[in-house]
Chain A
Amino acid sequence: MAGLFHGHPTVMASAIILLLVLVAALFGPLLAPYDPYQINHLAVNQAGSAAHVLGTDEFGRDILSRLLYGIRPTVTVAVGATVIAAVLGTILGIIGAYGYGWAGALIMRGIDVLLAFPPILLALLAVGFWPSGIFTLMVVIGIVYVPHFGRVAHSATLQVIRQEFVQAEQAIGSRPLRVVFTAILPNILSPLVVQATLTVAAAILLESGLSFLGLGIVPPEPSWGQMIGTARGYLNLNPMYVVWPSLCLALTVLAINVIGDSLRDLLDPRLRQ
């Protein structure tokens, strides 16, 4: 694991950023200097000052506090969606590769059709018909990324199936489910872990995008994407209002992607140079 960081300052920096995000997600309410819902009409759209380090929003709420509170829903949705996508996608992918011929073909065809569409379009279609909220976002975004996991699990399983230890497991008469759990799953885990990291980043972006459009996390509960969307209307009054949530979001996503890429290099020795 130490090899992940050694001689890679960007990976180190990314890990520190993610650690900070995690700390803020866990202890954000303790760290926040103000109540993020506290409206103050006397201090609207202020630039940064000693009292409000990052300034205030259109209702005079403290931006730093809202940023800290905004991490939790975003992380919850992203991680929850990734778990849903990983479980369903892996099951479908393994069935697609290892199951009966027609079922597998049907599943993979469906996955291919869904993969062809921009995730945000699928998410919009679903969000429109479901009651809004964190749970809906989690399920919808999770389902949107099922095909991506399905593809990865499918191709990884196809590679593993041909190897001798799987055929040996089958030859001694193990039931298919046992073959899957003892021989296949442990050996396709590393591409799935990499895919999970990248999916967390993609899910954060998708949730932020929906919240930016006003179709994600419901106000007054803060989220970064929603703050960017609101700040869009106050660009000339308080340009820094849009900068802070943008910076947080961009750095977090960049950090996760850097970690995901280096995980891939680490877990796949063929790519290591």
Chain B
Amino acid sequence: MKELLVGSAFFVGHKLLTALAQLFVVATLVFSIMYLMPGDPVLLLLGAESNPTPAAIAAMRAKLGLDQPVLMQYFAWLGNALHFDFGLSVLNSYPVANAIAANFPRTLELGVAAIIIASLIGVPLGIAAALHRGKALDTILTSLATVGISVPVYILGAMFIIVFSLQLGWLPSSGYMDIARNMPEHFRRLTLPAVTLGFGLAASIARMTRSSMLEILNRDFIRALRAKGASESRVIWRHALRNASIPIVTIIGLQLGNLMGGTVLVEAMFNWPGLSTLLVEAVAKRDYPMVQGTVLTIAALFIFINLGVELLYSLLDPRIRQRRA
């Protein structure tokens, strides 16, 4: 038992260190991209065709801290980023960190809602397909899942808006409502973006649930359970699903990257004022401190979600922990 605990601590510590190293690499990349790119970022920002005066160029250079030696800039930037200080937006001199703090929870909410919806749709559909293997229902569900994986979220979103918002008038087509001001409206506006974002994930989950359940249902212990007279629902939900759950959690974990990428497009589609909206706007207007801050935040979020998923596996399946530690 003691060895197991030491092993677990080692495993968690190792994973944590890897995550921190990844974060450091990303921070360095985010910082250095400004220097790796051809051309002068200040000229790009001010617009070379507007012929900015040398004084204006020097002022912007000082504002971005570009007049300092590169290494000094790097350490200053890294030190500030550790305190969650990414400087001021070039456009409106508003602290980047404040803008991120305001938009971050909205992206998180959208992502979590999408995962919940995807699991609620994907797992039952996958089980249904597995139980009706080879029949019409299975074929329909499997081809629907293939489409769900290949169709980009902005096309799906546009179709959902046309059907559920414009034709049926059930849900608002876009926008955000503060939860404190109007809770029902908040969730009404969350529904379409979350379903759009979750659809592709639901398809992956359904596919994985189907194949994983099919494999488990062929095992001897399932036959033994049925032979001893356990009810079919108990066999499926209690015994088969629990054993099939690790690949399902794995696929959810692996798909988180796609989900984060999807928020960029879904937020734009539905005017959802999250982190990606901030990022896209900053990229369009070449607001460098804002781009650096948002990318680093999204990357950090991503790295720690991945860390969480890995730790979750080891909780679900102790074999993983022992093998790696």
What residues of A have a CB within 8 angstroms of the CB of B162 in the complex?
Answer: 235, 239, 242-243
Interface flags for A228-268 (1: CB within 8 Å of B; 0: not) read 11011001100100110010011001100100000000000
What's the Cα separation between A215 and B283 when bound, in Å? 8
- Nearest chain A CB to B214 CB, angstrom units: 16
Given A118-B260, A239-B162, A253-B150: A124 and B295 interface contact (C-beta under 8 Å): yes
Interface SS of chain A: helix
Given A212-B154, A232-B158, A246-B155: A131 and B280 interface contact (C-beta under 8 Å): no
A214 at the interface (CB under 8 A from B): yes
What residues of A have a CB within 8 angstroms of the CB of B152 in the complex?
Answer: 205, 208-209, 249-250, 253
Chain A interface size, under 10 / 10 to 19 / 20 to 34 / 35 or more = 35 or more
Interface flags for A97-119 (1: CB within 8 Å of B; 0: not) read 00000000000000001001111
Give the contacting residue for A246; candidates B159, B286, B298; CB below 8 A: B159
Chain B interface size, under 10 / 10 to 19 / 20 to 34 / 35 or more = 35 or more
Q: In the complex, which residues 26-82 of chain B have their Cβ closer than 8 Å to any Cβ of chain A?
A: 26, 30, 33-34, 37-39, 41, 44
A120 at the interface (CB under 8 A from B): yes
Complex: chain A residue closest to B268, CB-CB: A213
What's the Cα separation between A121 and B41 when bound, in Å? 20
A88 at the interface (CB under 8 A from B): no
**Are A116 and B264 in contact, CB atoms less than 8 angstroms apart?**
no
- Nearest chain A CB to B152 CB, angstrom units: 6
- Nearest chain A CB to B114 CB, angstrom units: 14
**Are A126 and B280 in contact, CB atoms less than 8 angstroms apart?**
no
Given A129-B33, A129-B34: A116 and B302 interface contact (C-beta under 8 Å): yes
Residue pairs across A and B with CB atoms within 8 Å: the count is 114
Interface flags for A8-42 (1: CB within 8 Å of B; 0: not) read 00000000000000000000000000000000000
A181 at the interface (CB under 8 A from B): no
**Are B265 and A213 in contact, CB atoms less than 8 angstroms apart?**
yes
Given A209-B265, A228-B154, A250-B150: A235 and B161 interface contact (C-beta under 8 Å): yes
**Are A257 and B30 in contact, CB atoms less than 8 angstroms apart?**
no
- Nearest chain B CB to A221 CB, angstrom units: 17
What's the Cα separation between A118 and B265 when bound, in Å? 12
What residues of B have a CB within 8 angstroms of the CB of A225 in the complex?
Answer: 154
What's the Cα separation between A215 and B282 when bound, in Å? 11
A1 at the interface (CB under 8 A from B): no
What's the Cα separation between A4 and B1 when bound, in Å? 56
- Nearest chain B CB to A228 CB, angstrom units: 6
Instruction: Specify which of A118, A225, A228, A253 lies most central, judged by the most chain B CB atoms within 10 Å of its CB.
Output: A118
What's the Cα separation between A211 and B268 when bound, in Å? 12
Complex: chain B residue closest to A112, CB-CB: B22
A3 at the interface (CB under 8 A from B): no
**Are B158 and A124 in contact, CB atoms less than 8 angstroms apart?**
no
What residues of A have a CB within 8 angstroms of the CB of B302 in the complex?
Answer: 116-118
- Nearest chain B CB to A234 CB, angstrom units: 11
Instruction: Specify which of B30, B33, B34, B147 lies most central, judged by the most chain A CB atoms within 10 Å of its CB.
Output: B33
What residues of B have a CB within 8 angstroms of the CB of A229 in the complex?
Answer: 154, 268
Complex: chain A residue closest to B35, CB-CB: A129
What residues of A have a CB within 8 angstroms of the CB of B284 in the complex?
Answer: 214-215
What's the Cα separation between A214 and B285 when bound, in Å? 11
What residues of B have a CB within 8 angstroms of the CB of A113 in the complex?
Answer: 22, 25-26
What residues of B have a CB within 8 angstroms of the CB of A116 in the complex?
Answer: 22, 257, 302-303, 306
What's the Cα separation between A253 and B200 when bound, in Å? 15
**Are B37 and A129 in contact, CB atoms less than 8 angstroms apart?**
yes
**Are A127 and B283 in contact, CB atoms less than 8 angstroms apart?**
yes
Instruction: Specify which of B38, B154, B162 lies most central, judged by the most chain A CB atoms within 10 Å of its CB.
Output: B154
What residues of A have a CB within 8 angstroms of the CB of B150 in the complex?
Answer: 250, 253-254, 257
Q: Which residues of B contact A (CB under 8 A)?
A: 22, 25-26, 30, 33-34, 37-39, 41, 44, 147, 150-152, 154-155, 158-159, 161-162, 166, 173, 257-258, 260-261, 264-265, 268-269, 279-280, 282-284, 286, 288, 291, 295, 298-299, 302-303, 306
What are some 20 contacts across the A-B interface (CB < 8 A)?
A116-B302, A117-B26, A117-B257, A118-B258, A120-B264, A121-B295, A124-B280, A125-B291, A125-B295, A127-B283, A129-B34, A205-B152, A208-B152, A225-B154, A242-B158, A246-B159, A250-B152, A250-B155, A254-B150, A257-B150
Q: Which residues of A contact B (CB under 8 A)?
A: 113, 116-121, 124-131, 205, 208-209, 212-215, 225, 228-229, 231-232, 235-236, 239, 242-243, 246, 249-250, 253-254, 257
Going nearest first, the 3 A-B pairs with the smallest beta carbon separation are: A118-B261, A128-B283, A246-B155
